[in-house]
């Protein structure tokens, strides 16, 4: 795969090409269970081998330019193509809405998944939530309509069909738990994360997609978002202990530096897009060796790249 061609194809995207890509990706994701490439799939949870390199990308929200910058500076398509096949590209969710290239971002991300199925992981963000936990404002339907005309509605339906097949979390044993929003006090085991969907462990799903870490909250509190919770460091520490991980990596919150650190350096937030409507000064992504044993986010800072 070639980055310039991927970006060109995304910019030239037709509704037919988009719908075909959505169909292929949904079929692929639906089939994933058990051992695939570098990871093991257990329902909505991906467990990664602690080897090779990972590129972790936070919220993109329809900003294709940021994805292009990240893939170019990280040279990660070359890494994915390498014969060792031990590089993993992880998206933390929130692909669409807010920015003006949501369809293009979805297309590029799904093309990467289709090209490297065993090395690309797509997490579910709150902008890919179930019908009763939908993000607002949600401009995807109107943006698709404007871009694809009468096929916009169909493209939107196909996009919605994909969401329930996205993953809740990536787990690297003894090291990392990666989610879109946050952890839930109701997580007692990895299975609680793996099984959380529209029908089971609904509160866990809501917290994974929507919650935020807070320094002033001990356990948890109502979120100003109206969905999910603010969780304190007591919850972070308890959940990391219960699942045997040291660091929580998540997206979901815009910030000027592109990243922030919470809860005694146990929580890393990545925000990987720039431009309207957030106007954060920097976006950031994480490129790290999974074999490194890290118990403190400060040890990861050298591997956080700002752009």
> Residues near 279 by Cβ (< 8 Å), separated by ≥ 6?
none
Q: How far is the CB of 273 from Mn ion (least distance, A)?
A: 11
- Where on the phi/psi map is residue 282: left (φ > 0), alpha (ψ -120 to 50), or beta? beta
CA dist 76 and 255 (Å) reads: 24
Among 250, 293, 286, which residue's Cα sits nearest to residue 76?
286
Q: Which is nearer to Mn ion, 80 or 135 (CB)?
A: 135
**Three-state secondary structure string covering 8-22:** HHHHCCCHHHHHHHH
Looking at beta carbons, which residue is closest to Mn ion?
252
Q: Which is nearer to Mn ion, 252 or 263 (CB)?
A: 252
Q: How far is the CB of 210 from Mn ion (least distance, A)?
A: 7
Q: How far is the CB of 187 from Mn ion (least distance, A)?
A: 19
Length of the chain: 307
Q: Which is nearer to Mn ion, 8 or 136 (CB)?
A: 136
Q: How far is the CB of 104 from Mn ion (least distance, A)?
A: 19
CA dist 173 and 176 (Å) reads: 7
Q: Which is nearer to Mn ion, 47 or 126 (CB)?
A: 126
Q: Which is nearer to Mn ion, 38 or 126 (CB)?
A: 126
3-class SS of residue 213: strand
Contact status, residue 199 vs residue 169, Cβ threshold 8 Å: no
Among 59, 58, 55, 94, which residue's Cα sits nearest to residue 73?
55
Q: How far is the CB of 53 from Mn ion (least distance, A)?
A: 25
Q: How far is the CB of 126 from Mn ion (least distance, A)?
A: 4
Q: What are phi and psi of 204, to 5 degrees?
A: -60, -45
Q: How far is the CB of 253 from Mn ion (least distance, A)?
A: 8
Q: How far is the CB of 251 from Mn ion (least distance, A)?
A: 6
Q: Which is nearer to Mn ion, 104 or 128 (CB)?
A: 128
Q: Which is nearer to Mn ion, 27 or 136 (CB)?
A: 136
**Tokens 């058990």 correspond to what residue?**
34
**168 contacts Mn ion (rule: CB under 5 A):** no
Residues 230-269 that bind Mn ion (CB under 5 A): 252
Q: Which is nearer to Mn ion, 85 or 160 (CB)?
A: 160
Q: Which string of x and - marks every residue 36-75 that binds Mn ion (by CB under 5 A)?
A: ----------------------------------------
CA dist 269 and 259 (Å) reads: 5
Q: Which is nearer to Mn ion, 13 or 267 (CB)?
A: 267
Residues 124-163 that bind Mn ion (CB under 5 A): 125-126
Residues 108-127 that bind Mn ion (CB under 5 A): 125-126
**94 contacts Mn ion (rule: CB under 5 A):** yes
Q: How many residues bind Mn ion (CB under 5 A)?
A: 4
DSSP letters, 74-131, are HTHHHHHHSTT--EEEEE-S--SSSSS-HHHHHHHHHHHHHHSTTTEEEB--GGG--G
Peptide bond into 125 cis (omega under 30): no
Strand partners for 286: 56, 304
**272 contacts Mn ion (rule: CB under 5 A):** no
CA dist 293 and 63 (Å) reads: 32
Q: How far is the CB of 94 from Mn ion (least distance, A)?
A: 4
- Positions that interact with Mn ion (CB under 5 A): 94, 125-126, 252
């Amino acid at each position: 795969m070639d980055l310039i061609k991927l970006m060109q194809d995304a910019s030239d995207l037709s509704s037919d090409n988009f719908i075909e890509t959505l169909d292929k990706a949904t079929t692929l994701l639906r089939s994933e269970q058990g051992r695939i490439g570098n990871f093991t799939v257990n329902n909505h949870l991906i467990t990664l081998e602690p080897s090779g390199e990972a590129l972790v990308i936070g919220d993109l929200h329809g900003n294709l330019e940021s994805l292009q910058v990240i893939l170019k500076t990280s040279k990660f398509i070359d890494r994915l193509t390498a014969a060792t096949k031990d590089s993993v590209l992880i998206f933390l969710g929130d692909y669409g809405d807010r920015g003006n290239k949501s369809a293009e971002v979805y297309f590029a991300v799904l093309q990467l998944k289709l090209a490297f199925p065993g090395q690309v992981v797509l997490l579910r963000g709150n902008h890919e939530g179930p019908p009763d936990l939908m993000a607002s404002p949600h401009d995807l339907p109107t943006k698709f309509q404007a871009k694809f005309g009468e096929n916009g509605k169909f493209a939107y339906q196909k996009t919605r069909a994909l969401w329930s097949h996205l993953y809740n979390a990536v787990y690297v044993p003894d090291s990392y738990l990666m989610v879109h929003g946050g952890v839930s006090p109701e997580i007692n085991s990895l299975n609680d994360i793996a099984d959380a969907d529209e029908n089971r462990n609904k509160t866990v799903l809501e917290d994974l997609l929507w919650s935020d870490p807070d320094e002033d909250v001990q356990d948890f509190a109502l979120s100003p978002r109206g969905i999910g919770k603010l969780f304190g460091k007591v919850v972070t520490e308890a959940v990391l202990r219960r699942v045997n991980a040291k660091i929580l990596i998540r997206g979901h919150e815009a910030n000027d530096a592109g990243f922030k650190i919470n809860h005694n350096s146990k929580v890393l937030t990545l925000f990987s897009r720039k431009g309207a409507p957030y106007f954060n000064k920097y976006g950031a992504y994480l490129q790290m060796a999974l074999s490194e044993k890290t118990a403190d986010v400060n040890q990861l800072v050298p591997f956080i790249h700002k752009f």
